[in-house]
Every structure is written in C-alpha cells, then in structure tokens.
Amino acid sequence: MKTLKSIFLLVLFACLGLVSQAQDSLIIRKIYDEALVNGQAYENLRYLCKQIGPRLSGSPQAQKSVEWGKDLMTKYGFDKVYLQECMVPHWVRGEKEVARIIDGKKIINVPISALGMSPGTPKNGVQAKIIEVRSLDELKELGSKAVAGKIVFFNRSFDPRFIETGNAYGTAGDQRFSGPVLAAKLGAVGVIVRSLTESLDDYPHTGTTGFTDGDIKIPAAAISTNGANQLSALLKQRKLPEVEFYFKQNCELLPDVKSYNVVGEITGSEKPNEFITVGGHLDSWDLAEGAHDDGTGVVQAVEVLRIYKALNIRPKHSVRAVMFMNEENGGRGGAKYADEAQANKEIHIAAIESDGGGFTPRGFTFQDISKEGLVYVKENWKQLLEPYLADQLKAGGSGADVAHLRKLNTAVLIGFRADSQRYFDIHHSAKDVFENVNKRELALGAGAMAALVYLIDTQGIQRK
C-alpha cells in the first residue's frame, strides 16, 4: 500500500510539474506576444535618444531624462514611481579636442576624445615625445626615467579571438582605466589610449579613467583605432625624437551635483517587501545618444513592468524597474539604490541588469546563485526559454549597478546577455545612436527579461 501510495504521489507530482511547465510556457508566450506585437520599448528609446540625447551625469539632458523616466512610468500607471536622490560627479568635456601627430615638419590630425574624469591640458595644449607601450607591465618596467615628460601611448589591440567581445574589453580595459593613473605616477605629461574596439575606423571611444581624488592627474584621451595604427606605424618608421604628439582638451571636473535614480514599482501581492529589480542605466556618454549604452536597458526595464500591467499579471513579489544614474563615471546611483534598500530593510531576492546593448538575446548569467539553484534553472527554465533562443543560462557576472546589492547578501544578481558581436563597434563612440538599434532585437530582450522575472517571481531563485 505504502509503495502504491508513493507511486501515486510521484505520478501526481510529475503531472503537476508538467501542468505547471505548460502553464509557464503559455504565460511566457503571452509575454513575448505583448513585447513583439504591442511593444513600446523601441518608441520609448527613440524619444530618449532623439528628444533628449546624450545624458552624461550632471548634464541638463541627464536631468531631462530623469523627468522623462518619471513621467513615462507614471503614465504607465505603475503602483509607485519615485526618484532616489544622489550626488553625482559633474565632468564636462568642454570644446572639441584637437590632436596632431608631429612627424618632423609634417602634421597629421587624428581623432581623439578626452577620457572621463581626465583633466584638461594647459590652455595651449601639451606636446611631447611619445612612448608606445602594450601593457601596464611594460610601462612599469620602463620606469619613471623613461616615462617622465613624455606622452604615454597605450596601444594594445582588442583580441579578436574572444568569442564574447566583453572578454576582449575586459582584458584590454586596464589600459584606459588604470593606464592614466600609472602613467601620471611615473611622471608622464599625458596619455593616449587606443580605443577599446576591434573596429578599425575614425571614431574615438571614450570611457572613464580610474582617477580618484588623491591621484596625480594628467590629461588622458582615447584615440581612434585608425589613428592609433597610423601613430604606431610612424613610430616604427622614424627615430623616436622625430615624432611628437600634441593634444588639447579643456575638459574638467566640476563640483558634484544632485541627480536621481528613477524607480517604478508594481507592488507584490504576497510579499510586498521582497523585491525583484530589473534595470539599466539612464546616464550615458556625451558623444552620441547612449542608445545601446544604455538606453536599451532602461526602456527594456520599463517594458517588463508595462508587460505585467498589459497582461494583468500581479506579481507575488514587488517588481521594480530602475533607471540607475551615473553608471558611466562613478556608479553613485547603483550605490544609492543598495544603500536605500539596506536602510529600508528591503529584502531583495533578485536583480537583473541589461547593460550589454539591446541586441538579440542569448541568455542570462547568474552571480551568487547556489549550485543547486543553477541546476534548477537549467533543468526547468532552459527549456522554457529555448523557443525564444534566450536559453544560455550559466554562472557569471551581473552588472555594475545591481552588483551593489551584493552587500545585502540576499539577492541573486543577474546579467541579461545580448549578442555581443556589434557592441564594442559603437560603445562609447559617436556611433551609439538609435539607428543602430533593431526593433525586434530590443523587444526580444524585453520579452526575455520579463519571462525571467516571471519565473523568479513564481518559483523563487536560490542564493549561494
């Protein structure tokens, strides 16, 4: 009897499991239909890019984007919409940079772009001999005797062999972030960094340096990959003293200003003080429209909540769309969000960030998930996301904003993974415009994120 009963129960649970999988599958299909047929992410992005445009922290456009975000989520009728105040750095580029290779009597203009948090040059620019290196180690070995008084030129290329371009960015990025700090310590008078992209073109790609308050600071700029190749070739051809570099930039760091995260929420029916956050960052670099970085993440996060409302699904946990401020040069918004969560004793169970572009979805990476949790995700959710080609589910990083929540020790942090092949062609450059976003790819990403939020809300997710 006992055996029979056990078998009966086993069969029953198996059937219930199948029924529940089938229900989940139906709801996910509805989520995608809403994203693909009635999706508003693309038109919201158009507005953000074309009507507001670049929105570097502290800029008037950043402030406009905060107002837009609040209005948008209010218009959608989310249960709560509010701002979270935080002070942000206020770095300004000033007038367009000028740069020249001085090859004896020949002068070659090259495209550069000041790096975030860098100081300007003296008013008339800086001119010096160039010292080309491929790595920080190489520069360290040269030492201050060789470096002092020179402009350091970091010129290690993106490694094209990485399949996911984020890894190429990861391994080349120290040149831009840590290179200027090191060069300054060694007495250099300026730094030129090869743009962090595999694409060979004339667009400099900006981005932040790691300069902090106590550091000696020297002017640092990104040079286009074509410019870098030209400069490097010249340095090889000529004897060093013949070639000098000149650049002028009048960027500066002004006092911090007040800014905001924008938060929208659908309050949970069963556990209103437990939160699933989905977000992207509202600020962007100033060279273009911040379309893929990270307008797409912002509009996808809002779209997740809009889909919930459109389908009349009431989540058990509170689900929040967060537009983080100041991801690009400070991370103050992300820090503020986590601080507030802690202060308000909120229990965060999961947070998803979309900050790898609005390209076609490939899946998600999970940070701080337990081993068993990841097995569960792979065994139960992978098949649900497979029809949508968003089923690469593995351990990995999340995102710079949501990662601040790690200090709460309650949440699994999740990175939405879009196809990465085109991302660094446009990243932080003048090419990051609305026209480079594809409507369907953007909508599919919102669908994937909403589907994952739904699965987490209904089934939970197990933290390490």
Catalog residues that contact a second copy under the rule CB under 8 A: 32-33, 36-37, 160-161, 163-165, 198-199, 360, 362, 387-389, 392, 419, 421-422, 425, 438-441, 444
Count CB-CB contacts under 10 A for residue 187.
17
Closest CA to 197 of 391, 421, 358, 414: 421
Q: Which is nearer to a second copy, 272 or 397 (CB)?
A: 397
Q: Which is nearer to a second copy, 33 or 256 (CB)?
A: 33
CA distance linking residue 464 with residue 462, whole number of Å: 7
CA distance linking residue 80 with residue 319, whole number of Å: 10
Least Cβ distance, residue 419 to a second copy (angstroms): 5
Least Cβ distance, residue 161 to a second copy (angstroms): 5
Q: Which is nearer to a second copy, 28 or 405 (CB)?
A: 28
Helices within 51-191 (DSSP H only): 60-75, 136-147, 165-172, 174-177, 179-185
- The label of the residue with tokens 């709560």 reads 80
Q: Which is nearer to a second copy, 294 or 441 (CB)?
A: 441
- Expressed in angstroms, the distance from the first to the final Cα of the chain is 39
Least Cβ distance, residue 121 to a second copy (angstroms): 34
Least Cβ distance, residue 374 to a second copy (angstroms): 16
Least Cβ distance, residue 375 to a second copy (angstroms): 17
Q: Which is nearer to a second copy, 167 or 410 (CB)?
A: 167
- The label of the residue with tokens 């001999």 reads 129
Q: Which is nearer to a second copy, 355 or 425 (CB)?
A: 425
As a whole number of Å, the CA-based R_g of the chain is: 24
Q: Where are the beta strands (DSSP E) in 72-163?
A: 80-92, 98-103, 106-109, 112-114, 126-133, 151-154
The sheet with strand 151-154 has its strands ordered as 106-109, 98-103, 243-248, 126-133, 151-154, 190-194, 220-223, 112-114
Q: Which two three-digit tokens encode residue 133? A: 């290196």
Q: Which is nearer to a second copy, 165 or 261 (CB)?
A: 165
Q: Which is nearer to a second copy, 141 or 435 (CB)?
A: 435
CA distance linking residue 412 with residue 312, whole number of Å: 26
Tell me the C-alpha to C-alpha distance, in Å, between residue 37 and each of 33, 34, 118, 130, 175: 6, 5, 45, 55, 44
Q: Which is nearer to a second copy, 174 or 201 (CB)?
A: 201
For 365, list phi and psi in degrees, rounded to 5: -115, 145
Q: Looking at this protein, which amino acid is placed at residue 160?
A: P
Per DSSP bridges, beta strands 190-194 and 151-154 are parallel
* Degrees to nearest 5, angle at CA 415 with 85 and 65: 35
Closest CA to 235 of 130, 316, 152, 88: 130
Q: Which is nearer to a second copy, 161 or 239 (CB)?
A: 161
